[in-house]
Amino acid sequence: MMARAFHHAGPPSPRATTDFVPAADAVAKASQTLLGLPFDLLRVQYAAAARAGLVQRSMLASSRFDHALTTLEHLSYGPFARRV
């Protein structure tokens, strides 16, 4: 087998590294949105249940539910959870 010689082109151009940052930010934002989707759906379902009269319709009850759901999200995803 012949050994191939690899030619090193040098450091990446500044443009290549600056183009990577917005792409990485977009991927991070998209993944956080997808990870938060189940919790957002639960919030929508709770609001629909409150409108239908199935659960207590109060700001205090809604706040407690949202706090519990946010805590569950942070426990589930740890450092990957959304932060406000």
The answer to whether the pTM exceeds 0.75 is: no
CB under 8 Å to 54, separation ≥6 — which residues?
A: none
Q: What confidence tens digit (pLDDT) does each residue in 9-56 have?
A: 666 666 655 677 888 888 888 888 888 899 999 999 999 999 999 999
pLDDT tens digits along 53-84: 999 999 999 999 999 999 999 999 888 888 76
Distance CA(30)–CA(45), nearest Å, equals 22
The amino acid occupying position 61 is: A
